[in-house]
Amino acid sequence: MKISDLISALNLSVFSGEGGLNNEVNGGYVSDLLSDVMGNAGEGQVWITLQSHKNILAIASLKDLPGIILVKGIKPDRDTMDKSNEEGVPILGTGDDTFTIAGKLYNLLHS
Amino acid sequence: MMKEYRADLHIHSVLSPCGDTDMSPARIVDEARKKELDIIGITDHNSTRQVKLVYEIGLENDILVIPGAEVTSREEIHNLVFFENFNDLQSFQSYLDLHLRKVKNNPRLLGYQLVVDREEMVEYEEEWSLAAALDVSIEELAGKVHSLNGLFIPAHIDRFVTSIYSQLGVFPTGLEADALEVSWRSNPVEFAQRHPEINDYPLVTNSDAHFPDDIGRVYNVIRMKEKSFCEIRMALKGIDGRQVIQGKGSRDHAITGSGG
């Protein structure tokens, strides 16, 4: 499944990083602790978080994550979006809380 | 006979991924001398490997360098730690090597992590990311530091990221800290007034310098008998008239009537 498939299936908005819309998704990772994601997220997992600091892009690129979903209507800062465009890692948004969007993503990937 | 010493205890070198490439040992000491600091702390993220040379150059310039680090606990809380001698520092480095989560650094994304020599030539490049966290809790970390006779000071507790309050919500009861650091952004006296739960802890304020210009932008004035690690420990405890007067040098947050 691609990031673009997630966007239409889960009704996500796209803030930035359109260059990475074809990135391949094979799972998800949920955490708001950047060091935890750095240590434990796996390649191909889309990251669900409330963190919007630009450091999320460094972590996502380091771990080859295909995209980031910001929850609860949180919007990324300008420099976070710039970094997302540079790295080609899309930042997506949802009004759902973490529990809800993670459940939807799980069902989508396992249906 | 008490004297007053100017101390900035939170300075990053070129070894920290976020530290400016100009933050070589020689440059740090030179800048500290210009800012008329008597004591500086070298606190790189999760590593002590650049401290020794800063210490040596400091000695030659009559600046006491307190060996330390800024350590990230499992909760992603930053903590300053300091040690009296290089034996204890080496023991603590072994602890860091054991407990730092091993993620390969990517300098393009996270920054360079270099140890340099006197001539600012690269001596060593840290391959594991120092932006990672240790796998120990803040309490375990404090216990380890104290077992090595060190000082444990949670960093920039007023910040909205990587601080006790940002990561834990409320101050953990009974935390064994020798002091708490309020960042250069805040007035420590005002911060303490809003947080009566920390009134039992002494406060310090430091520059958290990542660039040469930032060194000494705030500092502490420590009243004590001589500049040494032992005296600093006693000043934090307020023994026999020793005292730490924090928040000096800040233009925006000039402190009056706080005993200084």
Strands A27-30, A45-49: pairing is parallel
The pLDDT assigned to B76 comes to: 95
Confidence of residue B251 (pLDDT cuts 50, 70, 90): low
**What does the pLDDT average to over B117-137?**
96
What residue in A sits closest to B168 (Cα-Cα)?
A33
Rounded CA-CA distance B175/B154 in Å is: 10
Task: Supply φ then ψ for residue B213, to 5 degrees.
Answer: -60, -30
In chain B the beta strands, taken as DSSP E runs, fall at 3-11, 39-42, 64-72, 78-82, 114-116, 122-125, 151-154, 180-183, 203-206, 219-224, 243-248
Amino acid letter, residue B170: V
Please check whether residue B131 lies inside any domain of the structure.
yes
**What does the pLDDT average to over A81-106?**
98
Confidence of residue B260 (pLDDT cuts 50, 70, 90): very low
Please check whether residue B234 lies inside any domain of the structure.
yes
- Would the CB atoms of B76 and A53 count as touching at under 8 Å? no
**What does the pLDDT average to over A29-33?**
96
Query: Chain B partners of A58 at a C-beta cutoff of 8 Å?
Result: 109-110
pLDDT exceeds cutoff 90 at B253 = no
> B79, B71 in Cβ contact below 8 A?
yes
The position carrying tokens 């924090």 is B246
The parent domain of residue B231 ranges over 3-248
**Which residue ranges make up each domain of chain A?**
3-110
The pLDDT assigned to B259 comes to: 32
**What does the pLDDT average to over B13-38?**
97
What residue in A sits closest to B103 (Cα-Cα)?
A39
Rounded CA-CA distance B9/B80 in Å is: 9
The pLDDT assigned to B250 comes to: 66
Please check whether residue B64 lies inside any domain of the structure.
yes
Name the pTM for this structure: 0.89
Our CA-based measurement puts residue B110 at a distance from the nearest CA of chain A, in whole angstroms, of 7
CA B211 from chain center: how many Å? 15
Query: Chain A partners of B72 at a C-beta cutoff of 8 Å?
Result: 35
The pLDDT assigned to B258 comes to: 37
Query: Chain B partners of A89 at a C-beta cutoff of 8 Å?
Result: none
**What does the pLDDT average to over B14-30?**
96
Rounded CA-CA distance B219/B35 in Å is: 10
What residue in B sits closest to A61 (Cα-Cα)?
B109
The pLDDT assigned to A35 comes to: 87
Q: What ipTM did this prediction achieve?
A: 0.75
Confidence of residue B68 (pLDDT cuts 50, 70, 90): very high
Yes or no: is domain A3-110 CATH 3.40.1390.20?
Answer: yes
**What does the pLDDT average to over A84-106?**
98
B120 touches chain A (CB under 8 A): no
Domains held by chain B: number: 1
The pLDDT assigned to B78 comes to: 98
Concatenated DSSP letters for B45-72?
BT--TTHHHHHHHHHHTT-EEEEEEEEE
CATH of the domain at B11: 3.20.20.140
Please check whether residue B255 lies inside any domain of the structure.
no
Predicted confidence (pLDDT) per residue in A40-52, tens digit: 999 999 999 999 9
Please check whether residue B162 lies inside any domain of the structure.
yes
pLDDT exceeds cutoff 60 at A77 = yes
Nearest neighbour of A35 by CB, restricted to B101, B106, B110: B101
Nearest neighbour of B109 by CB, restricted to A34, A35, A61: A61
Q: By C-alpha distance, which of A61, A51, A70 is closest to A89? A: A61
Predicted confidence (pLDDT) per residue in B28-67, tens digit: 999 999 999 999 999 999 999 999 999 999 999 999 999 9
* DSSP SS3 for B134: strand
Please check whether residue B29 lies inside any domain of the structure.
yes
